Structure 1
Amino acid sequence: MIESEDINKVEIRSEEYQEILGAPPNWLLRAGISVILLVFIILLIGSWFFKYPDVLNSQVVILTEDPPVQLKAYSSGKLTHIFYSENQSVQKDSIVAVIENTANLDDIIFISSILDTLTNIEYFPNNIDLNLGELQQSWSGLVRIISSHRNFIELDYFEKKNESLSSQIDFYNKYYFGLLNQIQIMEKENELSLIQFERDKSLFQDGAIAKLDFEKSEQTYLQQKRNYENSKTSLINTQMQINQLRQQILDNSIQKTNELKTYEIQIEEALQSFKSQLAKWRQSYLLISPIVGRASFNKIWFENQAISQGDLVVTIIPKDVMKIIGKADIPSTGIGKVKSGQTVNIKLDNYPYMEFGMIKAKIKNISLVPITTEQGIFYTAEIEFNDSILKTNYNKSIPFSQNMSGTAEIITDDIRLLERFLNPLRSIWTDKIK
């Protein structure tokens, strides 16, 4: 009996529930739709106002504007000389160390100083005994050409030859003017001889003189005329000889100038060749500091220690404290988001950011041309720091050392959440239209 009543109650209630579920009230439907619409509008408005940036990670190196200079070995051998110790001051162009070679270092230094200050080849020291090792052949060639040039100048062959020719010209000039005076006299004599001949001719025609006397008068006139013409010819020949001698002087002067020019060209070529080989030798065997700074040896180097080509022997730390900057290699993917002035969070490798914090900085500029490496294509960005010292967001100061490495988090411009939802849809829609 009880079971029958319970079954009836369940059936009655089930019918009531089914009636409610089967036909929900209109107010409930309107309320539900309104709530859903309100939530959607709130999310839509919120996605418009809510913005956050992308973060690009890259490797960064912290250094100064005037970075340290690494002096590496360009050849293998022993370190025959080390002129500085750890942290010792080094002057610009100072020789820090010497790698084993066959030349005498003092001779190399001597000849380098001569070439740096040489203004006139006349003062070139060619009569000295030098041991320049593998530069000896080039040096001997230079000395040989300079010696030939000096002998040419000291002998002065063409000048002496021209002096002799000038003396001959002086002699011929005197002979010329003497001959010219004789011709002037002979010209008068020739005129008188002609007058006498004409007179005797007239007398012969009149029968006043014998034919033999007339022939003698004619012979005298012709002899006088022949001598006159011969003297004129000698005068012309003398002038021609003078002109030839003057031409020889001019030719000798031109030849002397050409030979001097040839010597100058040969000396310049030999000198430049020797300077080039000397520079190559200095690069191969001398470690020279290009800046003023302090020597920092990367290993405990000592004289007669063997080194290999490419070994880093010493680093020259600049003396003056320069502005601290950072160099970050940014992957080409997403480089369009990076702009000057954007914030950069730097996490140093040697100082865990969970303990020491991050260093705030900004992008100063970005290289216009990328570099290609085995890891990919990168753009170089210069990073500037707000302070002259490295201070983290935990207010901790980090002691600076050259070439500190770390990770740079570049904070790009904020993008609305709504745009992040719509951008993929817009891309899909654009692709479909195309």
Structure 2
Amino acid sequence: MKLHNTHQLSDEMLTIAGEVPNWVVRAGAGIFSGIFGLFLIGTWVIKYPEVLKGNAVVTTQVPPIRVVTRSGGRMIRLLAKDEMQVTKGQVLAEIENTTRLENIPTMQRLIVEAKQFLQDTQRPISFPTTNFVWGDLQQDFLLLRQSYLDLKRLQADRHLHDQLARLHQQAEELRQMTALNERQKALHEEEFKNTEEQFKSDEKLYKEGVYSKMDYLKTKNKYIEKQREREDFDKRSIDNRIKINELEQTAEQFNYTHVEKTRQCLDNIGRSIANIENSLRNWQQHYLITAPADGKLVFLKNLTENQHLTASDTLFAVMPSQSQFIASVDIPVRGMGKASVGQKVIIKLDDYPYQEFGMLEGKVLSMAPSLSVRSYRVVVALPHGLHSTYHQTLYCRSEMAGTAEIVTADLRLIERAFYGIRKLLM
């Protein structure tokens, strides 16, 4: 085959060989225009959300109530289990003490009986045996029992009753004597009138010279004697009334003393009841750990009996029953002017990686400045609860931390490019 040198080609052939075909140019221009058009369409169609990020805590609308110990010591009894339903006031644990929880029902029964005794002193109070351990309530218990025994002795004491009976009997006898004296005085009053008339008649005759002086003096002495007897009747009546008053005052004094002693015993019993109730409340606050509300109990640390606790230890949390979940989000102030109520919020939880479990979706419920001027506190409602975007229901023990993103706007790519260009120009 014979080879030809390129220098042997004519100029016309070289020109034809160097020109690009028109169809290639048209095809290239069409492909470039199509790609550019698709790019423009993509920048208009594709939207990228603008978000504000912050730290979030998912909790219940009524926040969980944390149970904290008020005093330290060895926990001698653990009566609660993790995730059990509890009621307000239910005993969860007991710290070592001298009174002991098992004695409380007996103490409460004693308080009820003592209050009933104050309403009706004929009702008995059943005190525990002498070997019963009262612990911190021992002094108040001894005062209560002693006051009760003193009152019972007063009620059973017959000496005062006998004294009052004798005084009343003496007063009644004096009244009878006074009545008899009044009857005798009435009879004597007739004699006195007769003697007085005779004396006046004899006095007149004596003045006329009919009676001798000796006869007149006899009549006068008899009249004076009747006057003295009349005054004696009055004197005996007055003496009897004075004695009756003295006896009645003595009886009233005895009765007042008895009533005063009874009232003092009742006051001591009432004071002892109040002291026992107050001491019992203090004992419960210091040595019993109780549920502060109804709900589900969650252990916040591993707990066992005979474990030593220190004051202010946080042991449990009570999750309120039938309470909706919300999220509390701290958002930096930068960009908060674009946030508003009702905007979408995406929450990613630390306990549940969102790549595997999905995310929670919510809406901004309220916004308010926090204590720090550098952040806002945003409350987010969770309409779907703990149901994630991957259709999984997440489990919350107490509170769950994570991050939140408030979607303030869905901007197109072309809008973002325009904002960038405008920012550069300004």
Query: 1:109 is matched by which residue type in structure 2?
Result: P
Deviations 1:140-165 (A, max 9, x none): 23333333333334437766654443
Q: Where do residues 73-84 of structure 1 align in structure 2 (5 Å cutoff)?
A: 73-84=69-80
Residue matched to 2:348: 347
Distance 2:138 2:347 in 1: 55
Residues 1:107 and 2:108 are matched in the alignment: no
Distance verdict in 2 for CA 1:172–1:54, change over 3 Å: farther
Deviation at 1:228, TM superposition (A): 0.7
Q: Where do residues 234-313 of structure 1 align in structure 2 (5 Å cutoff)?
A: 234-250=236-252, 253=255, 256-290=258-292, 296-313=298-315
Deviation at 1:266, TM superposition (A): 3.3
Q: Where do residues 326-337 of structure 1 align in structure 2 (5 Å cutoff)?
A: 326=326, 328=328
Moved more, 222-231 or 327-336: 327-336
CA contact (8 A) 1:56 1:412 kept: no
Deviations 1:362-420 (A, max 9, x none): 455689xx996xx7899977653213x31234544323332223345567899xx9xxx
Distance 2:160 2:176 in 1: 24
Residues 1:384 and 2:385 are matched in the alignment: no
Q: Where do residues 5-404 of structure 1 align in structure 2 (5 Å cutoff)?
A: 55=52, 57=54, 59-63=56-60, 65=62, 69-87=65-83, 93-115=89-111, 119-121=115-117, 122-126=123-127, 128-129=129-130, 130-155=132-157, 161-250=163-252, 253=255, 256-290=258-292, 296-315=298-317, 320=321, 322-326=322-326, 328=328, 343-353=344-354, 356-362=357-363, 383-387=380-384, 389-393=385-389, 395-404=391-400
Residue matched to 1:47: none
- Any idea what SS the aligned residue of 1:390 has? coil
- Any idea what SS the aligned residue of 1:107 has? helix
Distance verdict in 2 for CA 1:409–1:173, change over 3 Å: farther
Deviations 1:142-198 (A, max 9, x none): 333333333334437766654443323212211111111111111111111111211
Deviation at 1:241, TM superposition (A): 3.1
Distance 1:171 1:352 in 2: 104
Query: 1:285 is matched by which residue type in structure 2?
Result: Y
Unaligned runs of 5+ in 2: 1-48, 118-122, 416-426
CA contact (8 A) 1:331 1:376 kept: no
- Any idea what SS the aligned residue of 1:391 has? coil
Distance verdict in 2 for CA 1:407–1:237, change over 3 Å: farther
Query: 1:125 is matched by which residue type in structure 2?
Result: S
CA contact (8 A) 2:113 2:125 kept: no
Deviations 1:229-267 (A, max 9, x none): 121122123223333444444555555555544444433
| TM-score normalised by the chain length of structure 1 | 0.66
Residue matched to 1:19: none
Distance verdict in 2 for CA 1:332–1:162, change over 3 Å: farther
- Any idea what SS the aligned residue of 1:231 has? helix
Distance verdict in 2 for CA 1:248–1:412, change over 3 Å: farther
- Any idea what SS the aligned residue of 1:102 has? coil
Deviation at 1:117, TM superposition (A): 6.9
CA contact (8 A) 1:108 1:132 kept: no
Deviations 1:271-317 (A, max 9, x none): 22221111111222222345566654444433323222233444555
- Any idea what SS the aligned residue of 1:120 has? helix
After superposition, the CA RMSD in angstroms is 4.2
Distance 1:274 1:324 in 2: 41
Deviation at 1:221, TM superposition (A): 1.0
CA contact (8 A) 1:329 1:378 kept: no
| TM-score normalised by the chain length of structure 2 | 0.67
- Any idea what SS the aligned residue of 2:217 has? helix
Distance verdict in 2 for CA 1:364–1:113, change over 3 Å: farther
- Any idea what SS the aligned residue of 1:278 has? helix
Distance 1:337 1:254 in 2: 83
Moved more, 293-302 or 97-106: 293-302
Deviations 1:113-137 (A, max 9, x none): 4435764134433463221222212
User: What is the number of residues matched between the two proteins?
Assistant: 357
Unaligned runs of 5+ in 1: 1-51, 418-434
- Any idea what SS the aligned residue of 2:282 has? helix
CA contact (8 A) 1:186 1:228 kept: yes
Query: 1:284 is matched by which residue type in structure 2?
Result: H
Distance verdict in 2 for CA 1:144–1:59, change over 3 Å: farther
- Any idea what SS the aligned residue of 1:62 has? strand
Deviation at 1:218, TM superposition (A): 1.0
- Any idea what SS the aligned residue of 2:59 has? strand
- Any idea what SS the aligned residue of 2:211 has? coil
